[in-house]
Homo-oligomer: A and B are copies of this chain.
Amino acid sequence: MSEMNTKEKLLLHARRRFWTNGYSNVSLRQIASAAGVDVALVSRHFGGKLGLFEATLEGAFNIFETPPTSETELIEAFVRLFTETPRTQTEPSAVTMLLTNSFDEEVGSLVRDLYDRQFQQSLRDLLGPERAALFAAVVFGFSVAEKSLQVDGIAAPSSAEYRRQLEHLIHAAFSYSG
């Protein structure tokens, strides 16, 4: 970690804190301190707090090596986004980022638009609006119950049981006929 330059260090810790605690609940001094760097360098490298946050969104939903063509391919990638975390196990996932930031007054619309443009849109094109919506609802509900409310009875993510529960509901979403 010491072999990163300042920009990378800031970006790493910014993503960690912004994604898990929400944009408005994190101060630049907290991030800079965690990165072992002066606060002023944020404005220098990223133009300000908002610029730093936007930089953390780079490739947030970029989970395809190649754009998906079939339903199964897209669904598989989607499930992967929600069950795995981007780098290590301790890093917050893109789903957590959505839950903590989509309500924020300053970056809420930014985050929602990004999600819709980079993800929900392709879901809609492939599945149609109703099934795409139910699909997203199911998969987000799982994340909320697990990450946000920490409801008992939901298996640990990345476990086989978790996938089984999730796929059961996904199947239900697909069997919906408006």
Q: Contact between A145 and B153 (Cβ–Cβ < 8 Å)?
A: no
Question: Is A112 an interface residue when CB atoms closer than 8 A count as contact?
Answer: yes
Chain A residues engaging chain B, CB cutoff 8 angstroms: 20-22, 24-25, 98-100, 102-105, 112, 115-116, 120, 124, 128-134, 136-142, 144-146, 148-154, 161, 165, 168-169, 171-173, 175-176, 178
Which chain B residues border A105 with CB–CB below 8 Å? 21, 25
Chain B residue with Cβ nearest A177 = B168
Q: Which 10 A-B pairs have the closest CB atoms?
A: A141-B141, A172-B172, A133-B153, A129-B153, A137-B145, A137-B141, A140-B144, A133-B154, A102-B148, A140-B141
Which chain B residues border A21 with CB–CB below 8 Å? 103, 105
Which chain B residues border A115 with CB–CB below 8 Å? 149
Q: Contact between A136 and B145 (Cβ–Cβ < 8 Å)?
A: yes
Q: Contact between B25 and A148 (Cβ–Cβ < 8 Å)?
A: no
Which chain B residues border A140 with CB–CB below 8 Å? 140-141, 144-145, 148-149
Copies in the complex: 2
With A99-B144, A103-B148, A145-B140: A134-B165 Cβ-Cβ less than 8 Å: yes
> In the complex, what's the smallest C-beta–C-beta distance from A120 to chain B, in angstroms?
6
Q: Contact between A142 and B137 (Cβ–Cβ < 8 Å)?
A: yes
Which chain B residues border A150 with CB–CB below 8 Å? 112
Q: Contact between A129 and B141 (Cβ–Cβ < 8 Å)?
A: no
Q: Contact between B172 and A120 (Cβ–Cβ < 8 Å)?
A: no
> In the complex, what's the smallest C-beta–C-beta distance from A32 to chain B, in angstroms?
18
> In the complex, what's the smallest C-beta–C-beta distance from A144 to chain B, in angstroms?
4
